[in-house]
Amino acid sequence: MPLVVYEAVPSEHNPDLWRLLNVSEAIEDLTGYPAADFLGDKPRHFLYEMIHPDDRVRIGAEYDRSRITESPMNLHYRIRHRQYGYRTVEERSSFRRDANGTMHSYGALLDSKQSQRTSRRHSRLDTALESLNADVAVATGQAFLESLCRRLAYLLNVRQVAIMRVVDGQNLESLARVHDGLLIAPYTVLTDNTELSVLRTQSRAELSFDEALGHGLSNLDDIRHVIVIRLDNHQGEWLGALVLCHDEPFSTSKTLDRALELYTDRAVTEIERLGLERQLQESDARYRAFFDTAVQPALVINPKGRVTNFNQAARRLFEVGDSSDLQLIDLLPKHQPDGRSSLYGLLRLVKEAHYKGVPPSHWQMHTLSGRERSVIVHVSPTMMNQTERALLTIEDITDQLKSEAALAEQNRLMSERQSRLRGLVRLATELERQGDLTEFLEACLQELLYQDGSREVAYFRVKQRQWRQTVADVDEPVHPLDYHAKAIDNAINGGTLSIVETDGPWVYLPLFDNQQPVAVLVIGSREAGFRDREFVELLHQTISLAFDNLMQRLTLHRQAMCDSLTALGNRAQLHEWVGDALEQNPDQTASLLLFDLNRFKEINDTLGHHFGDRLLCEIGPRIVDVLGREDSWGIARLGGDEFAVFLPEQSVAQALALAELIGEALRQPYLIDNMKLQVEASIGVSHYPSQGKDGHELLRCADVAMYAAKSKGQTVVVFNADLDASTPQRIAVLSELDQGLQAGDLWVAYQPVICASDGHVTGLEALVRWRHPELGELSPADFIPIAEMGQGIRQITDFVLRTSLAMVADCRKRVKPDLYMAVNLSSRVLLDHALPQQVAQLLAEFKLPGSALVLELTESTLLSDPLRAVDIIEQLSELDVQLEVDDFGTGYSSLAYLKSLPIHALKIDKSFIADLLKDAQDRIIVESTVKMAHNLGLEIVAEGVEDEATLVELVKMKCDAIQGFYFSKPLAADDLMVWLQRNL
């Protein structure tokens, strides 16, 4: 009876057909075709095609069921033989996946009626053999083996028959054993190092024993003769043994040979069948264990929706107790969220799965207690007991969906927040660009309207009682000021934001400057975002910070543009006023008035700065009264007692009339601390556009006219070209300065400074000259004022410092070791932070001490930027450089201010020295200056001394040093050296 053992996989060309990887040669006995016809990628035959057509649907369904569930199967069906037609076979198989996930089928086919055909082909055998064949043919498995042992023992008249199988490749274990007609317990014998070891190389062994031995093949001492027949499978592998035991020698007979030939093959088949059954039982047990212990819930249902099986995970998921009667409808709501019928929809899906694959689908289910669960259902059709079933694998995604929903909500909130934050960044950026309050509030109006959810935005300016609003949609109703009045008052009085719920949230954001309410922003919305107080507070902070920055910028701008003493505009503010007015209307006529106060210095020096400052503060209000303005726009204090008034949109005649009125108003007495003080103004006037295109040109021309007014003793003078000393010719001279320096046209003259007490030379003053190739000899007055308007003064100062220090170094070596050199500095040079370092380098270069250099500064130079001047002067003093105030008495500095500086000496201006013997007032000024200077520890140098009488008078006044033509005019370097050698 052939047993066909095979291994199969799905065909790559047709997944419904399975091709054989391995098959035993017995396939030819079963089908009439050799094994090679069933092997290979494209075999000539498939077993499925040989199944009787009436059996194919049933067999195919059972195959699908076992393959999907990976469970064993046991089938009976008809298969076609090449020559003898259809025969009934039994198939037992199981399914497993390899490491690559490919499904393999392992099974065996047995021709269940082979024994009948064999009996007919061997009809020569005697009746007993036929009886044996008929008896054992109806049995299979263990029953067949036991029956075979009984019949062989009877037929062959032997004491004992046993059928054994190989265990662990070396031992024999009895499957069935009959002794004297009785079944006895199974036993195991060893083959290694025993007489049975011959079975490893031989197919049959006959053993005889002289006496009872412990061979283990029988438990009867009188057993002396044994026949052992090796049983191999069709692959030639040792499978087991048939053992015959008797107490007498065996006699050879045709019946014995035929029976052994026939039933050893059948024994092999049944041994293999038992092994396969054991594998199938183990596989089924593993399946049951896997199903029951699987982590994923699983249900098995019939076509009507009855749950026939469920695992422990499903019991826990659906809260199923010990109940075994469960319907699918017990776990489903009546309808799904999309309106489908739950039960019929799922059963329809199960039905479809039997004909085609269906993807996993999402369903709403519930536990027996009614708790809703969201699940993914995987449907796998199967066959159990020849009936359709469906395995539903349940993936519970309830918690996952909740987490996803929570995450989506969190992402939505985060996205909204990020959108709002981006809006706040855009809002802050836009607000920072605004230059004044009106622009700021208008920008708030527009930007807040773009915030998500805004439908109406407005602002209320507290001081002006101004209400301005806009809406996102023209169809939106507009809410007037009265609608918000109470909420606005509450926001102002409370000093913080408020959210009021009426027809949607209304947000009120107050803005304060120095704790004073300036405006309230109003935002109307229908969105929940403006109910989020954290966001609204952040919005308020953003706007408030930008508003505070604006207020600070405006304050700083006012401070930068405002004179701190008089609260009038300063020079920068004046230029801004002029620029704005001319930009708005470049075709207008306008005028600029510039004036200072005559005799103000005497009041300041005599009565002190307190009176002078009080007087200066009254200038602005008088001009405002004359102009009839509400504020001081266009009126600026430029410094000291110098003021300017800009008159836009005024004709020349109107401007001159106003200038006369201003001059008259300023001449009126000033009552300060019960003292009547009186000053006069010298007013210079320039007109736009004829005398200047911008504020700088107008101011320069007005300055020229003002000095003309002072020199002429007139109140008002209008600029004309004849008054301008800075002619194009003089400016052209300045452009040739670089060429003059390179060509050596600039040179330094030196005037000696004499000690008043002994008449000896103590120092020299360096005075620059320009020997112009076309204009001839130029004095400093011809080019220094123009050079001070640009960087030319720095080049001149560098040249004078280097030349004069080289000269004094030579003189100290050759003539007088303690001689010093005095050099004049302009304000532009003094305020250069690099000056101290430059001086230090030059002193080091010429190996001179700091005391060899005296720097002369005018009072106006010191007052141009007092704080910066003090810092640089102190650095120069640290170098031991001496500092003198030149032209003292012509400026506005006070002795108290000079006392705070490291000043060495005061140099009285020659204008006071020239008339010293003729003008009693000049004499008093010089005399008092000398005394005050000495009291402050300062020395006095008198310049401009041209006669002996003046010299004698200055000596009597105890001046410390004298300088003037009386001793020597400024000398060239060579002439100076001769003069020094003659006068020392």
> Each residue of 716-772: pLDDT tens digit?
999 987 776 555 556 666 678 878 888 889 999 999 999 998 889 999 999 999 998
> How many Cβ atoms sit within 10 Å of the Cβ of residue 325?
7
In SS3 terms, 748-784 reads as EEEEEEEECCCCCEEEEEEEEEEEECCCEEECHHHHH
Question: Does the pLDDT at position 283 exceed 60?
Answer: no
* CA–CA–CA angle 939, 943, 944 (5° rounding): 160
My answer on whether 137 and 273 are in the same domain is yes
Question: Does the pLDDT at position 243 exceed 60?
Answer: yes
My answer on whether 736 and 714 are in the same domain is no
My answer on whether 549 and 691 are in the same domain is no
At residue 119, the pLDDT reads 47
My answer on whether 446 and 530 are in the same domain is yes
Q: What are phi and psi of 276, to 5 degrees?
A: -65, -40
- Report the C-alpha gap between 643 and 621 in whole angstroms: 13
- Report the C-alpha gap between 595 and 707 in whole angstroms: 9
Q: Residue 689, preceding bond cis, omega within 30 degrees? A: yes
Question: Does the pLDDT at position 138 exceed 60?
Answer: no
My answer on whether 71 and 127 are in the same domain is no
Domain boundary among 237, 269, 290: 290
Question: Does the pLDDT at position 287 exceed 50?
Answer: yes
Question: Does the pLDDT at position 15 exceed 50?
Answer: yes
Q: Are 246 and 172 in contact (CB under 8 A)?
A: no
Digit-coded pLDDT (tens) for 490-541: 989 988 888 888 777 889 999 999 889 999 999 988 766 677 788 888 888 9
At residue 173, the pLDDT reads 87
- What lies within 8 Å, CB to CB, of 182 at 6+ separation is none
My answer on whether 81 and 123 are in the same domain is no
CATH of the domain at 29: 3.30.450.20
CATH of the domain at 284: 3.30.450.40
Q: Which residue has the higher pLDDT, 838 or 726?
A: 838
**Residue 734, domain member (yes or no):** yes
Q: Are 930 and 940 in contact (CB under 8 A)?
A: yes
Q: What are phi and psi of 557, to 5 degrees?
A: -65, -45
Question: Does the pLDDT at position 861 exceed 50?
Answer: yes
My answer on whether 856 and 754 are in the same domain is yes
- Report the C-alpha gap between 275 and 141 in whole angstroms: 10
Residue closest to 683 by CA, chosen among 706, 661, 653, 667:
706
- Strands of 131-200, DSSP E: 160-167, 171-179, 182-183, 188-190
**Residue 579, domain member (yes or no):** no
How are beta strands 675-677 and 238-246 bridged, if at all? unpaired
Q: Identify the DSSP state of 283.
A: H
My answer on whether 107 and 120 are in the same domain is no
Question: Does the pLDDT at position 1 exceed 70?
Answer: no
Digit-coded pLDDT (tens) for 59-72: 888 888 888 877 88
Q: Identify the DSSP state of 478.
A: P
My answer on whether 157 and 256 are in the same domain is yes
Lowest mean pLDDT among 72-76, 464-468, 572-576, 720-724: 720-724
Question: Does the pLDDT at position 130 exceed 90?
Answer: no
Q: Identify the DSSP state of 971.
A: B
**Residue 789, domain member (yes or no):** yes
Q: Identify the DSSP state of 976.
A: H
Domain boundary among 698, 724, 750: 724
Lowest mean pLDDT among 235-244, 467-476, 817-826: 467-476
**Residue 582, domain member (yes or no):** no
- What lies within 8 Å, CB to CB, of 13 at 6+ separation is 42
Tokens coding 119: 């009996």
* Residues 442-461, mean pLDDT to the nearest whole number: 85
**Residue 408, domain member (yes or no):** no
My answer on whether 714 and 748 are in the same domain is no
Place 386 in a pLDDT band, splitting at 50, 70 and 90.
low
CATH of the domain at 653: 3.30.70.270
* Residues 665-684, mean pLDDT to the nearest whole number: 91
Produce one character per residue of 935-957: b if its CB has 16 or more CB atoms within 10 Å, e if not. Answer: eeebbbbbbbbeeeebbebbeeb
Q: Is the dihedral of CA 627, 631, 633, 634 positive or negative?
A: positive
- Report the C-alpha gap between 504 and 408 in whole angstroms: 26
Place 254 in a pLDDT band, splitting at 50, 70 and 90.
low
Q: Are 693 and 638 in contact (CB under 8 A)?
A: no
Residue closest to 79 by CA, chosen among 89, 68, 69:
89
**Residue 245, domain member (yes or no):** yes
Place 850 in a pLDDT band, splitting at 50, 70 and 90.
very high
Sequence-separated contacts (24+) of 836-843 with Cβ below 8 Å: 836/872, 836/875, 836/876, 836/878, 836/879, 838/798, 838/801, 839/801, 839/876, 839/879, 839/881, 840/879, 842/801, 842/802, 842/805, 843/805, 843/879
**Residue 409, domain member (yes or no):** no
CATH of the domain at 737: 3.20.20.450
My answer on whether 787 and 914 are in the same domain is yes
**Residue 206, domain member (yes or no):** yes
**What counts of helices (H) and strands (E) characterise the chain?**
31, 39
Please tell me the total count of domains within the chain: 6
Place 214 in a pLDDT band, splitting at 50, 70 and 90.
very low
* Structural domain range at position 269: 116-290
Digit-coded pLDDT (tens) for 757-781: 888 999 999 999 999 888 888 888 7
Which single residue is written with the structure tokens 């003898």?
Answer: 84
Domain boundary among 724, 755, 784: 724
Digit-coded pLDDT (tens) for 31-55: 899 999 989 888 988 888 889 888 8
- Report the C-alpha gap between 209 and 223 in whole angstroms: 8
My answer on whether 372 and 483 are in the same domain is no
At residue 112, the pLDDT reads 67
> How many Cβ atoms sit within 10 Å of the Cβ of residue 693?
12
Percent of the chain with pLDDT over 70: 89
